[in-house]
A and B are shown apart, each in its own frame.
Chain A
Amino acid sequence: MASVGALVEVLGVRHHGPGSARSVAEALDELDPDLVVIEGPPELDGLLELGGRRDLVPPVAGLVYAVDAPRRASFYPLAEFSPEWVAMRWALRRGVAVRFADLPAVHALAETPASPDDSEDVEHTGDAEHGPPDAIGTLARVAGYDDPERWWEDAVEQRASSALARFAAIREAMSAVRAADGWGDRDPENQRREAAMRRVLRAAVKEGRERIAVVCGAYHAPALDPAAWPAAAHDTRLLTRLPRTKVAVTWAPWTADRLAVASGYGAGVTAPGWYQHLFVSWSRNQDDEVVSRWLTRVARALREEGLPAAPATVVEAARLAEALATVRGRPSVGLPELDDATEAVLCEGSPLPLGLIHRRITVGESLGRVPAGTPMVPLARDVDRTQRALRMRPSATETTLVLDLRKPSQRERSVLLHRLRLLGVPWGQPADAGRTTGTFKEAWTLQWHPEYAVSLVEAGLHGTTVVGAASSLVAERSAQADLDALAALVEQCLICELPDALDDVVRALAARTATQADVVSLLLAIEPLARTRRYGDVREADTTLVAEVLDTVVARASVDLRPGCASLDDDAAARMRDAVDAAQRGVSLVAGDGPPAVWRAALLAVASDRQVHGLVSGRVHRILLDGGVLDTSAIAERLSQRLSVGSSALAGAAWLDGFLDGDAVLLLHDPALLGIVDDWVSGVAEETFDDLVPLLRRTFARYQPAERRQIGTRLQHRDTSGPSYDGSEGGPTDDELWERAAPVVSRVAELLGLGPVGSSR
């Protein structure tokens, strides 16, 4: 419409389409606009200052988030081959004004009462979520192309020499698409977005801009053409009374991996690496080398993995790819042909290496970078500073890191990783430290995901530094956690080195133990506390307070233990057994010379109570036996009692399960005990035995096969030598023992030069 008073040229593109990007660059050169308008919320204008910096390396994403609820965020990913990126860089390089046009994020990210809650967790990614389908992709599919880029190449690029004429054709095609599906004029969200885009254009015209280039998704192109503009009042009406929220913007590094459709970004592309390759080849005018350069890269990657991909076979692969394109009746070689040729020639028919190629080259592993001065939430800046100080560069590739906590610099790294995990940024995942039992070694698997940028924004609500945010997060949690969660927090404080928070947590813990009635929680609190007490010194934490609390908890738990063990059902008993086990581990960890008397007394009290559930009682007996509090004869007596005909067989089996759970050494080396167990098993009535079999089997199945075999052998031996409780009757006599030892003794004597010993006594 001439009345607009300015030339508005709408360049409808395919998001992340290298063909579109190339055409956009040509069209901009042709048009030489004085303003470039790019689809995207106007808040992104604030990022343009950094947009031209050389150290802003794509893939990056414009991140817009609501300040008070950072989970509500939108990403606008840009790769080197994105038309939006190309347009922005083109304008910034020439000093041409650029601005973004779309529904402002202050409205888009505001919470609308109508929208369901679940959309909060899902990231809104530009066009991906609510946007129109990939209209160019649809057209390409209709035309029989599986790759929209190839369609663009054939149907758009080859048709007209003028890039502007090509985009005019796209606009026409899209008008037809819109008329056919009617979605664009029906969807209120889309209506608002297009109205907002037009508002920006009107303002630009009013400013007196003469040649305006608009880069937007092809689907919007017809609606932004001045000829189709509705009255300004129409748009204003659409854009009034929208909810508002406060938003902030920044650049976030992005990865090629995230650009790929596989990771859920709707407007994404299946093969970012391939598109990158196409775009780079085109922009260097190496159109005829696309295939050979690609296959050379593939061959190099295969060679790095030790596969023989000789240069001669690369030639053959290129020829096969071209022949395949001919057989399939395609005008040029595409990614499917290259993949097939790679598999048949370079990989010798095996599809496995193709997976590697797909990950490393077709998708690519590139991670974008943002300039040092990029606006960051204070917390992210602190993380960045710490990462630099510790020389830990975030990388999209998975790496393994083994830390020796005895070295201060390595311990700091561990602390940073632990703190970030606490803050919901699992950059490092604990890995297996390998064959070591030492507690000074830690292994991590590091992989930085771009979405951590959002997590950092969210964690920023708790504080402005890593240590501050982690401390206040712990303090916040300690206010509402129950006892065992608190105990776990204590440990977190220790490995994260949060001394201030530790005091808070321990105080909360001390207060909570006084009112805690559940003995299981008390018991479970012992182990983490004990570990803190024991290993706190390695981390140079002050654990005197922890020691005091630990003593209190042990004392309270001991007092409550016996009443707490009364009338337990099977499930409760299993929980209690695990809790007692954990508590015992904790107690023995800090006890210098035997467990505290109060704990030992509590265990003895439980052991002597015949009403306690067999599982718990058996376990307690085992602990007392291992600790040397009760001797074998006392245990044999109890076992015999528990397993005698008087008490029910099921209770007896439960007791045995609690008692024997663990290792078989006890049974193997204590013939008296084995005898009692054996006599009991062979003595139970047949129908009772049927009920017992599962229980017994469960107990014995935990032993190693070799141990079970050994037990079996011993029992056999026991049968032949007659029943015996004390082992004296069936055992060897002194003479026999001497005979067995004689050869050894004589050999040792010989070695020592004492002369032959002979058989003389």
Chain B
Amino acid sequence: MTATPLRAHAEEACADELAALAAVDDRPRPPRWRLSPWAVATYLLGGELDDGTTISAKYVGSRRLVEIAVASLATDRALLLLGVPGTAKTWVSEHLAAAISGDSTLVVQGTAGTPEESLRYGWNYARLLAEGPSRDAVVPSPVMRAMERGSIARIEELTRIPADVQDALISILSEKAMGVPELDDEVQAQQGFNVIATANNRDKGVNELSSALRRRFNTVVLPLPDTLEQEVEIVHSRVSATGRSLELPAEIEALSQIERVVTIFRELRSGTTLDRRTTIKSPSATLSTAEAISVMTNGVALAAHFGDGVLRADDVAASLTGAVVKDPVQDRIVWQEYLETVVKDRPEWADLYRACRELG
């Protein structure tokens, strides 16, 4: 039995679309780009090609933002995707890298413990001791490899990286070169190299970027989806895709369950009901689209393995409660209030109300 990865990289999952785009794309491409900026934008936003191939939308939202992002990368300016958790920052950056360089794997995951070696290079100490300092003993970071290859490097959660480590990026971004002083050598970035960083602007333990570093990025703020329909579409497409890859037998036969969850998320997030009649409290959780997706996926899994294969209110209720109630005291009050004042008054939501009440 061949090993099947749980989740394929973007460039593998969408290999057909990328190939189809490359086939019809006759516009000028920046050096070492697999596609022209136009084709990259089309890849992300979806559309139909002249030869009839349909490209699925990877990002549902403003065309403007995607165009700014692609244009930024084309100017060799680094791109900073900013937004609250769950607004498809990582998703967009992965697909951008896949479309531009055909490789989304050159990624540094930012954490509070990310050392400078992750951004620059480390040493293979066995080799260093045995052979002395040489290029062979250098262990390049993903950024260094991207520079050598002229492709896109991704840095996730840039603001989680300690400030002194962040600053290692400054010379990389402005001089496009990384010195290796031990060898009196340097790595110069090849054409096509660029950096996509993602960062959270609303989270705990964030290290603000220095203005020197900030200045080297073009910033694109990814917003939460504008309309209910957009958000439902996003959740639906992603849940179906995940369901397929996890081989879950349950199918979501109607959008109504998704619409309900998305409505609840939007209402709690904005602090008012969709008809703007009732004010409600907002819980401490971000309640992003990504969380709506995971609530639905969870529900589908429950329905498939423990239910009758049809997604019902009971299947959604547990993970819905878990997503909303992050703080066991405050959020529970908010959630109870919402259930009693809003959910209870909607007759067609009676099953959901009952399911949530049973959970306590």
Please, which residues of chain A bring their CB within 8 A of the CB of B211? 308
Contact between chains at A340 and B68 (CB < 8 Å): yes
The A307-340 residues at the B interface (CB cut-off 8 A) are 308, 310, 312-313, 316, 319-320, 323-324, 326-329, 336, 340
Contact between chains at B220 and A327 (CB < 8 Å): no
Closest to A337 in B: B71
The B147-188 residues at the A interface (CB cut-off 8 A) are none
Closest to B41 in A: A327
Contact between chains at A320 and B37 (CB < 8 Å): no
Contact between chains at A340 and B64 (CB < 8 Å): yes
Q: Which range contains the number of A residues in contact with the other chain?
A: 20 to 34
A351 to B64, CA, bound (A): 13
Contact between chains at A310 and B67 (CB < 8 Å): no
Contact between chains at B77 and A320 (CB < 8 Å): yes
Answer whether A320 and B75 are a contact pair too, CB < 8 Å, given A327-B67, A344-B218, A349-B80. yes
A340 to B218, CA, bound (A): 11
A350 to B82, CA, bound (A): 10
The B34-74 residues at the A interface (CB cut-off 8 A) are 37-38, 41, 64, 67-68, 70-72, 74
Q: Does A345 contact B (CB under 8 A)?
A: yes
The interface centre, meaning the residue of B82, B211, B215, B220 with most chain A CB atoms within 10 A of its CB, is B215
Answer whether A344 and B219 are a contact pair too, CB < 8 Å, given A323-B37, A327-B37, A327-B41. yes
Give min CB distance, A610 to chain B, whole Å.
Answer: 46
Q: Which of B37, B74, B82 contacts A349 (CB 8 A)?
A: B82
Please, which residues of chain A bring their CB within 8 A of the CB of B218? 316, 320, 344-345
Please, which residues of chain A bring their CB within 8 A of the CB of B74? 323, 326-327
A350 to B220, CA, bound (A): 9
Closest to A316 in B: B77
Q: Does A348 contact B (CB under 8 A)?
A: yes
Closest to A318 in B: B75
A328 to B36, CA, bound (A): 12
Closest to A308 in B: B211
Give min CB distance, B297 to chain A, whole Å.
Answer: 30
The A347-364 residues at the B interface (CB cut-off 8 A) are 348-351
A312 to B221, CA, bound (A): 22
Q: Does B32 contact A (CB under 8 A)?
A: no
Q: Does B214 contact A (CB under 8 A)?
A: yes
A113 to B219, CA, bound (A): 60
A-side interface mostly: helix
Give min CB distance, B153 to chain A, whole Å.
Answer: 19
Answer whether A310 and B215 are a contact pair too, CB < 8 Å, given A319-B77, A327-B38. yes
A313 to B214, CA, bound (A): 11
Give 1 or 0 for each of B204-221: 1 = CB within 8 Å of chain A CB: 000000010011001111
Closest to A322 in B: B75
Answer whether A350 and B221 are a contact pair too, CB < 8 Å, given A319-B77, A323-B74. yes
Answer whether A349 and B220 are a contact pair too, CB < 8 Å, given A308-B211, A319-B77, A323-B37. yes
A329 to B219, CA, bound (A): 22
Contact between chains at B71 and A320 (CB < 8 Å): yes
Answer whether A320 and B72 are a contact pair too, CB < 8 Å, given A327-B41, A340-B64, A349-B80. yes
Give 1 or 0 for each of B21-37: 1 = CB within 8 Å of chain A CB: 00000000000000001
Please, which residues of chain B bring their CB within 8 A of the CB of A328? 67
Give min CB distance, A308 to chain B, whole Å.
Answer: 6
Contact between chains at B68 and A319 (CB < 8 Å): no
A323 to B38, CA, bound (A): 11
Answer whether A344 and B68 are a contact pair too, CB < 8 Å, given A316-B218, A329-B38. yes
Please, which residues of chain A bring their CB within 8 A of the CB of B41? 327
A310 to B221, CA, bound (A): 21
Q: Which of A313, A323, A348 contacts B75 (CB 8 A)?
A: A323
Count B interface residues, CB 8 Å: 21
Please, which residues of chain A bring their CB within 8 A of the CB of B38? 327, 329
Closest to B217 in A: A348
Closest to B223 in A: A351
The interface centre, meaning the residue of A326, A341, A351 with most chain B CB atoms within 10 A of its CB, is A326
A446 to B37, CA, bound (A): 50
Give min CB distance, A291 to chain B, whole Å.
Answer: 14
Give min CB distance, A492 to chain B, whole Å.
Answer: 41
A323 to B79, CA, bound (A): 14
Please, which residues of chain B bring their CB within 8 A of the CB of A329? 38
Closest to B40 in A: A327
Closest to B214 in A: A348
Answer whether A327 and B70 are a contact pair too, CB < 8 Å, given A312-B215, A349-B82, A349-B221. yes
Give min CB distance, B171 to chain A, whole Å.
Answer: 15
Closest to A326 in B: B37
Contact between chains at B67 and A324 (CB < 8 Å): yes
Give min CB distance, A333 to chain B, whole Å.
Answer: 11
Q: Which of A313, A323, A348, A351 contacts B71 (CB 8 A)?
A: A323
A328 to B37, CA, bound (A): 9
Give min CB distance, A144 to chain B, whole Å.
Answer: 15
Please, which residues of chain A bring their CB within 8 A of the CB of B220? 344, 349
A336 to B67, CA, bound (A): 12
Give min CB distance, A651 to chain B, whole Å.
Answer: 37
A323 to B218, CA, bound (A): 13
Closest to B211 in A: A308
Please, which residues of chain A bring their CB within 8 A of the CB of B68? 320, 324, 340-341, 343-344
Answer whether A313 and B67 are a contact pair too, CB < 8 Å, given A349-B80, A349-B220. no
A550 to B72, CA, bound (A): 75
A308 to B210, CA, bound (A): 13
Contact between chains at B64 and A349 (CB < 8 Å): no
Please, which residues of chain A bring their CB within 8 A of the CB of B67? 324, 327-328, 340
Give min CB distance, A371 to chain B, whole Å.
Answer: 45
Please, which residues of chain A bring their CB within 8 A of the CB of B214? 348
Please, which residues of chain B bring their CB within 8 A of the CB of A323? 37, 71-72, 74-75
Contact between chains at B71 and A324 (CB < 8 Å): yes
A341 to B214, CA, bound (A): 15
Contact between chains at A326 and B71 (CB < 8 Å): yes
The B62-106 residues at the A interface (CB cut-off 8 A) are 64, 67-68, 70-72, 74-75, 77, 80, 82
Answer whether A327 and B71 are a contact pair too, CB < 8 Å, given A316-B77, A348-B214. yes
Give 1 or 0 for each of A38-80: 1 = CB within 8 Å of chain B CB: 0000000000000000000000000000000000000000000
A320 to B215, CA, bound (A): 14
Closest to B36 in A: A327
Closest to A317 in B: B218
A345 to B219, CA, bound (A): 6
Contact between chains at B72 and A349 (CB < 8 Å): no
Please, which residues of chain B bring their CB within 8 A of the CB of A308? 211
Please, which residues of chain B bring their CB within 8 A of the CB of A336? 64
A-B contacts, 30 of them at CB < 8 A, read A310-B215, A312-B215, A313-B215, A316-B75, A316-B218, A319-B77, A320-B71, A320-B72, A320-B77, A320-B218, A323-B71, A323-B74, A323-B75, A324-B71, A326-B71, A326-B74, A327-B38, A327-B71, A327-B74, A336-B64, A340-B64, A340-B67, A340-B68, A344-B72, A344-B218, A344-B220, A345-B77, A348-B214, A349-B219, A350-B221
18 extra A-B contacts, CB within 8 A, seeds A313-B215, A336-B64, A351-B221: A310-B215, A320-B68, A320-B72, A320-B218, A323-B37, A323-B71, A324-B68, A324-B71, A326-B37, A326-B71, A326-B74, A327-B38, A327-B67, A340-B64, A340-B67, A345-B77, A349-B221, A350-B221
Query: Footprint of B on A, CB under 8 Å?
Result: 308, 310, 312-313, 316, 319-320, 323-324, 326-329, 336, 340-341, 343-345, 348-351
Nearest 9 CB-CB pairs, A to B? A349-B219, A323-B71, A324-B71, A349-B221, A327-B37, A344-B218, A323-B75, A319-B75, A327-B71
